[in-house]
Structure 1
Amino acid sequence: MKRGSISTGTATIFAVVIAAVMMTAVAAVLLPPGETAGITVPGRSSASPVEAVAGYNGTSVIRIAADAVNLTECRVYLTDPGGVLHNVETAVLTNTTPADGRAAYIFYLPVDGRSGYWITDEPDLVFTDTYHSGIRSFSPGGDWRVVVYDQLLKKNRVDRVVLISGPSSPV
C-alpha cells in the first residue's frame, strides 16, 4: 500500500473538526461561569436580567438579576433617554453577588447633592417607606440604558436598555 497525501475532502473534514474543538475550548476558557455567548433563539431565550418593576407607590425601579456578578467590583451607570450619563451610588448591598433569585434594584432618590440614583439589594429601600419618605420617578420616561462595568475584568457584565414609564413619558 502506497502512502500519499490525503484528499481535499478528508482535509476539509479534519479542519472543521479541529476548528469546532478549538472554538469550544476557547469559549470554555474565556466565558466566566454564569455567562453565555450571547446566542438567543426566538421564543426560547431566558428572561432579561434587567427589567423595570413597580416599587413603592408604583414608582418604577430597575431590577437587576444577574447571577455571578460581584457588584462591589463593578460600577453601575445609567444613560437616560436624552443621552445623559448618570453615576449610580451604592446604598445598601448586603449580598454583593445576587444569586438564588435575589436581585439588586436601582432607584431614584435625590439626597445630599449626589446623582440621586442608587443601587441596593435591600427590598425595603424600594418597596416601602421604612427608611425614607418614598422614592421618586425616573424622568424623563423612555428607554434607559443600564451598564454594569466590572473594573477587575475590564468589561461590561450587563448592558441592557429598559423601558421606563416616567412622569413625562408618552408610553
Structure 2
Amino acid sequence: MGRGPISTGTATVFAVVIAAVMMTAVAAVLLPPGDGPGLSLPDTASPVEVVAGHNGTAVIRVAMGAANLTECRVYLTDPEGGLHNVETAVLTDSADGRAAYIFCFPAPDRSGYWITDEPKMVFTTAYHPGVQAFSPGDWRVVVYDQTLRKNRIDRVVPVNGPSSPA
C-alpha cells in the first residue's frame, strides 16, 4: 500500500504543533518557579538602594520585606569584581517591615562589611566612631536564602560618592 507525500497544509500543522510543544518544554525548564500561579514579574520598587548614613556616608538599604534576612547570607561584589561576605552586626526577624542596612566598617579578621536593622549603627556613632564610605562604582548585592536555596535579591546599585541617595 503506497502513500504519497503529505500536503503542505498538513506539514504546516505538524510543524506548529511540534514548535508549541518544544517551546513549552523549554519554558518549563528555563523559567524559575514564581511565588504563585503565572509568571513572576520583577517588582517596580527596588528592594536595594543607596542612602546617606552618618555624615552623608553612603550605605546600602535593603527592604526587609524582600526576604527574611536572618535566614540568608548576604554578599557584595565591589566595582573591581572582588567578592565580600557581609557579616551580621545586629539583625532580627522583623515582621514590621523595617529596613536593613549594609555598611562599611573595617574590623580585624572580618570582611569589613556589615548588615544591621538597627538604624543607630549607620546613622549615629552610638556603636562605633562612624561608618566608612563605599568606593564609587557599581556594587552588586546578592541575598541568598539558605532555606529556599535560591537568590532572593540580586541587584546592582551604583554608589556615586560619599553621599549618593538613590
Per the normalisation by structure 2, the TM-score is 0.72
Summarize the alignment of residues 72-91 of structure 1 with structure 2, pairs less than 5 Å apart: 72-91=70-89
Structure 2 unaligned residues grouped into runs of 5+: 1-12, 18-23
Aligned equivalents of 2:89, 2:42: Cα separation in 1: 34
Aligned equivalents of 1:30, 1:101: Cα separation in 2: 22
Task: Give the CA RMSD over aligned residues.
Answer: 2.6
Does the C-alpha gap of structure 1 residues 142 and 70 become closer, same or farther in structure 2, counting only changes over 3 Å?
A: same
Show CA shifts across 1:75-105 (max 9, x none): 0000011110000000001x324x4441000
Structure 1 unaligned residues grouped into runs of 5+: 1-7, 13-18
**Number of residue pairs matched by the alignment:** 134
Report the equivalent of 1:16: none
2:35 equivalent to 1:31: yes
Name the SS for the 1:72 alignment partner.
Answer: helix
Aligned equivalents of 1:165, 1:68: Cα separation in 2: 24
Aligned-residue sequence identity (percent) comes to 65
The higher relative CO (CA closer than 8 Å, separation ≥ 6) is in 2
Name the SS for the 2:108 alignment partner.
Answer: coil
Q: 1:134 aligns with which of 125, 130, 136?
A: 130
1:107 shift after superposition: 0.1
Report the equivalent of 1:102: 98
Name the SS for the 1:67 alignment partner.
Answer: helix
Name the SS for the 2:122 alignment partner.
Answer: helix
The code of the aligned residue for 1:96 comes to D
The code of the aligned residue for 2:77 comes to T
Aligned equivalents of 2:59, 2:111: Cα separation in 1: 15
Summarize the alignment of residues 1-171 of structure 1 with structure 2, pairs less than 5 Å apart: 30-31=34-35, 37-39=40-42, 45=44, 47-67=45-65, 69-93=67-91, 95-97=92-94, 99-139=95-135, 141-166=136-161
Aligned equivalents of 2:116, 2:51: Cα separation in 1: 14
Aligned equivalents of 1:75, 1:136: Cα separation in 2: 22
Conservation of the 8 A alpha-carbon contact between 2:66 and 2:152: no
Show CA shifts across 1:114-164 (max 9, x none): 11000000000000001110000012x111000000111110001101011
Q: State the structure with more CA Rg.
A: 2
